[in-house]
Amino acid sequence: MKFLILLLIISPLIENVFNFSINETNFLTLGIHYDPTIRNNIEEDLIKIKEIGFDWIRLHISWKVVEREKGKFDYSIYDYTISLAKKLNLKIIAILGAGHTDLLPEWILKEGSVDNKDYINYLRIYAKNTVGRYSGKIDIWQIENELNHVTFYKWIGWRIGKWNETQIKNIIETLSSITKSLDKSAVMINVIVDNPNWFSFLRKLTEWNIEYDIIGIDYYPNYLDDYSEDAGNPLKASKVYDYINKAKLFNKTVVIAETGYSTYNQIHNEINQAIFVEKIALASIISSIGLVVYYRYDDFSYNSTDIEANFGFINYFGKPKLAWHKVKEIKVQKYNLKINIKNDQFLKSSEIKLDNIKVLVPIDLILFRTNINIKLEKEIRYNDILYKFEKIIINEKIYTNNEINLVINEDVSITIYYIPYYPLDLTVQTNTNYSLKAIVKINDSEYEIYENPIYLEGNKSYVIKPPEIIYLGNRSFRSTIESAIIKLIGPMKIKISYVPYYKLRIIVNDWLGNEITAFVQVIREISHVGKINYINFTSNIEYFLPEGNYTIRINSIFTYEKTIFLNEDKIIIVNIENY
């Protein structure tokens, strides 16, 4: 039923997802586990169950009850219960052949339980009688119960015998084939997902070619968690979403066959039980399953500290707990919650968190009145694009927080806005492709440029102004551009080239070595550009010029002309004779 086991079995996933609802509507239906054998007024109970909002009851057709003596069957208690349930239009899940010690006849236990060589024959007789009797009256037949957890149940005495793989396979095959041959109703096999072996067990059913229709998930995250870090936390309920989606990989209808929260101490109290019930329902709606069955209708012991005895929605004295009233709220599913992300095609299938459940948008759900936490990523990366959260609009109201606690008490339309930031891969390099560090001004902000791209808001114009000169050691490099204007509509790469500049000092002397003034002309010819002239009337001048060929011309009484290749700092002294 509800135990934890620290056994991890890693199994490969099964592909192909198939999903359909077990009811005729898109709404979540609710069920409750009910034991008529310990109740005094079954009719009153079932009427209450129906009126509060449950659509299903789940019950054991206990082998111990119907065949107390070998070969003598008495179904009167179940005939009465099932007849009343059908009159009230309650659907029924009947559990067939559960081999727990408290559900097996004494005569079978005395004969060795499952280890008796005739156990399968006895089981076959019981199953044929039971399914044949209620054919057409049961909506789902659950065969056996939580067989992935037999090792633990043997340890605590809830099952006796070997319960080895061969026995389990024979039991499931027997119950499945009998049920399928005598009734058209769906067959369910349930697993307790608190035991990590549940997935490998379902995989084993596939290998055995077991014929069944529904996977029932049993989930008890708060069972005996008193010493855990978050003891009693009802929000653990949301984790069932992950188990549901993983179970869907087996191409079966998935339901929650059994889940509950015991109110056995101050931490595990009625308030937390009601929250747990609500959050299980919410996770089920989000995962698009059609049925949740809670455990159980009533507390069956006065002992308030017994965990097993206090799962009921009705306490031992017949008083409804808070969870009972929560069912009525969950039943009223009428509020539409729509969530989408605006403007960007890449984010239209992104994940957001609803009550810590990762869900893909767009979302279109019908919910009951509830509180729900919506959490959005501040930043999302898609390929090379960075999206930053901007705002969320909820029914035309604007919020700038990326986390919202929302009360669902009306139709809610949510639009999420992210701003795309595109990478600008800006590199600063010398003419020999050597990367330089630089502080580049982009609009009104400065950015250090070296190896990594910078991210800027998309669909905007930017003016890029690199530094005019960059010094590397004792060498200066000058940008080939003063500025650049870009429109950033996607990822972009820009290379800013820097060329080394050298000092060229020209000194004009007369024949005696005295500085004299003259027209000094430095000419550089660039292909596709033409000539660049630097003209000064001076006797001593220093230029910072890029590498290249230059013509130096001095005009005085006489004309002096010389061609040089500038690739280092140079001093040119020109002596003008007979000045």
19 band by pLDDT with thresholds 50, 70 and 90: very low
Interval 511-534 mean pLDDT: 82
434 band by pLDDT with thresholds 50, 70 and 90: confident
Sign for the pseudo-dihedral over CA of 85, 86, 90, 94: positive
Residues 6+ away with beta carbon under 8 Å from 197: 5, 7, 9, 148
What average pLDDT is seen over the chain? 91
578 band by pLDDT with thresholds 50, 70 and 90: low
> In this structure, how many other beta carbons lie within 10 angstroms of the beta carbon of residue 472?
13
**Could you tell me the two tokens for 367?**
């919910």
All domains in the chain, ordered by first residue: 29-332 (3.20.20.80), 336-420 (no CATH), 423-498 (2.60.40), 503-576 (2.60.40.1120)
SS3 of 403, please?
A: strand
Q: Which of 259, 266, 264, 260 has the alpha carbon at shortest distance from 310?
A: 264
Contact 67, 126 (CB under 8 A): yes
pLDDT at 465 over 90: yes
Q: What is the pLDDT of residue 532?
A: 80
Question: What is the Cα–Cα distance from 99 to 113, expressed in whole angstroms?
Answer: 8
Q: What is the pLDDT of residue 2?
A: 43
Q: What is the pLDDT of residue 495?
A: 93
Q: What is the pLDDT of residue 3?
A: 39
> In this structure, how many other beta carbons lie within 10 angstroms of the beta carbon of residue 318?
9
Question: What is the Cα–Cα distance from 551 to 561, expressed in whole angstroms?
Answer: 7
pLDDT at 146 over 90: yes
Q: What is the pLDDT of residue 575?
A: 85
- In which element (H, E) is residue 338 found? strand 335-341
pLDDT at 414 over 70: yes
Looking at the DSSP assignment, which residues form a beta bridge with residue 36? none
Interval 4-12 mean pLDDT: 33
Q: What is the pLDDT of residue 8?
A: 32
The region of weakest confidence among 236-250, 462-476, 506-520, 522-536 is 522-536
Sign for the pseudo-dihedral over CA of 306, 192, 369, 343: positive
pLDDT at 42 over 50: yes
Note the pLDDT tens digit of each residue in 327-352. Answer: 999 999 999 999 999 866 677 778 89
577 band by pLDDT with thresholds 50, 70 and 90: confident
Question: What is the Cα–Cα distance from 479 to 477, expressed in whole angstroms?
Answer: 7
12 band by pLDDT with thresholds 50, 70 and 90: very low
Stronger pLDDT, 470 or 9, i.e. the higher one = 470
Q: What is the pLDDT of residue 430?
A: 85
Q: What is the pLDDT of residue 280?
A: 98
Interval 451-455 mean pLDDT: 91
Interval 508-528 mean pLDDT: 84
Q: What is the pLDDT of residue 249?
A: 98
- Strand-strand pairing, 570-576 and 492-510: parallel
Q: For 331, list phi and psi in degrees, rounded to 5.
A: -60, -30
The region of weakest confidence among 50-54, 131-135, 520-524 is 520-524
36 band by pLDDT with thresholds 50, 70 and 90: very high
> In this structure, how many other beta carbons lie within 10 angstroms of the beta carbon of residue 253?
23
User: Looking at the whole model, is its pTM more than 0.85?
Assistant: no
**Could you tell me the two tokens for 14?**
């099964």
Q: What is the pLDDT of residue 24?
A: 56
Alpha carbon distances (Å) from 124 to 45, 189, 331, 576? 32, 17, 39, 125
**Could you tell me the two tokens for 382?**
């898609």
Q: What is the pLDDT of residue 15?
A: 33
- Strand-strand pairing, 438-442 and 445-449: antiparallel
Q: Which of 532, 515, 538, 537 has the alpha carbon at shortest distance from 566?
A: 532
Interval 125-135 mean pLDDT: 99
**Could you tell me the two tokens for 419?**
């701003």
The region of weakest confidence among 16-25, 99-108, 394-403 is 16-25
Note the pLDDT tens digit of each residue in 91-113. Answer: 999 999 999 999 999 999 999 99
Question: What is the Cα–Cα distance from 561 to 547, expressed in whole angstroms?
Answer: 19
Question: What is the Cα–Cα distance from 563 to 561, expressed in whole angstroms?
Answer: 7
- Burial of 441 by CB count in 10 Å (0-12 exposed, 13-18 middle, 19+ buried)? middle
Contact 566, 548 (CB under 8 A): yes
Interval 374-394 mean pLDDT: 93
SS3 of 461, please?
A: strand
Instruction: Report the percent of the chain where pLDDT is more than 70.
Output: 94
514 band by pLDDT with thresholds 50, 70 and 90: confident
